[in-house]
Amino acid sequence: MATEVVMPKLGLTMEQGTIGAWLVAEGDEVKKGKPILEVITDKVTMDVEAQVSGVLRKVLVAAGIEVDVNTPIGVIAAADEDIEALVNSLSSGGQSATTPADATPPPAPVAPVAPTPLVVAPVPVAQPAPPPAAVPVPVAAPARGAAPGNGRPHRASPKARSMAAERGVDLASISGSGPGGRIVSADISTLSPVVTPLAAAIPRQHVVGQAHVGEESVVQLTRPQQIAAERLTESSRDVPHIHVWMEISAVWLQQFRQGYSLEGKKISYNDLVVKAVARTLTEFPRFNGIYENGSVRQLADVNIGVAADTPQGLLVPVLKDVANLSVEQIAQETARLVDGARQGRLGLDDLMGGTFTISNLGMLGVSRFTAIINPPQVAILAIGAIEKRVVALENDALAVRPYMSVDLAADHRALDGAMCARFLGRLKQIIETPGLLA
């Protein structure tokens, strides 16, 4: 029986998804449990596998198109099964799907055939870290898949496609080493750095990542970057931000980190700050909530998102139940999440459920900055670098001490300035008091 392939709902908040690539060409056999396409959400890129075996008879939505969840995007059926009625039904049913450019016109209307919905299961895509940039030469044999001219897709991972685009590599000239002949990033990174006719034919100023001073370049945002830009724009426009900042002594942060280092434990300043923020949130539960329908829902668990810079753009992996974690556990989990984010190995669960966010640019030498709230959360904390400041002591003597600036951005619909001042005051007290920070 013919079966619809629909855009899966990969998360509780997911409303739309973009098809990154079809891993199976129209007319190819598919097997139950094998990936058939990649779906790009605002957080991660996922492989979606088929739950039935058959032939991918029809691709209803081409790669690069964004559609609503549960929109039919393909049809799997037996090789000799008549699917004209089903395709016609989907084409005339007002579905928000876009057919490929080479798709044939729909046949005359006939009685529709009730399809069997296909449930697809997401599988996280492993994406290795990007190698050093170079202009490679495709030297391998032709790809197993045909060139784009005949409508067959390149079997390539998102990372491999991104690297190929940056270096001007024609995927049709590469034989993939991955499962089923899929092209992976290693196939691109091992190519010899020699300029090819394809790369030479592209104007130098239009090759992403190859522009020089005085030359124009166009950088195409990834779909997650585009969605993040849209949502942060909405937050900046629709959420009334209030910013309250404070300087906090980092003397005990340095002392504690040094003590952990002597014990052979790798603890960062950020790990200690996360622990302090988690304790503060338990005492100020209104900051650990979400704004909805004119009210603030205070959440039971403290789940802190830690903004991370990755090759795919900004990601915010979430530390779960931080209030019940030790500093060592926070350090271990943060290292796992940040490394996974940069390697493209996070699942949706690692990126969901945040109740509060911390953004730290101190390690990049930024003294102070402001951040944009991640709705429906009601606050975000921006951490600056630890720097030496001249301060006045109690006896009016001057001394040099390590300090850091923190900026709390809050949703003024849910929180006011006095609340923010008390929150930061308590955070300052915890960080500056060894008995509270430990």
**Which of the residues are catalytic?**
412
- Round to whole Å and give the CA distance between 303 and 299: 9
Residue 321 gets the label, from left (phi > 0), alpha (psi -120 to 50) or beta, of left
- Round to whole Å and give the CA distance between 115 and 347: 30
CB count within 10 Å of CB 430 equals 21
Tell me the C-alpha to C-alpha distance, in Å, between residue 368 and each of 10, 253, 271, 382, 411. Answer: 36, 18, 19, 8, 20
Question: In terms of DSSP bridges, do strands 54-59 and 289-292 run parallel, antiparallel, or are they unpaired?
Answer: unpaired
- Round to whole Å and give the CA distance between 249 and 163: 44
Close Cβ partners of 294 (under 8 Å, ≥ 6 residues apart)? none
Residue with tokens 């940056």: 166
- Round to whole Å and give the CA distance between 392 and 395: 8
- Round to whole Å and give the CA distance between 345 and 143: 26
Query: Max Cα separation, the chain?
Result: 92
432's tokens = 């500056």
38's tokens = 């990649």
DSSP track, 147-179? PGGGTPPP-B-HHHHHHHHHHT--GGG----SG
Close Cβ partners of 141 (under 8 Å, ≥ 6 residues apart)? 175
Q: In what order do the strands lie in the sheet with 3-6?
A: 29-30, 54-59, 72-77, 3-6, 116-118
Residue 350 per-residue DSSP state: G
DSSP track, 127-153? -PPPPPP---B--SPPPSSPPGGGTPP
- Round to whole Å and give the CA distance between 249 and 167: 47
Evaluate the CA torsion angle 86, 88, 91, 92 in order and state its sign. Answer: negative
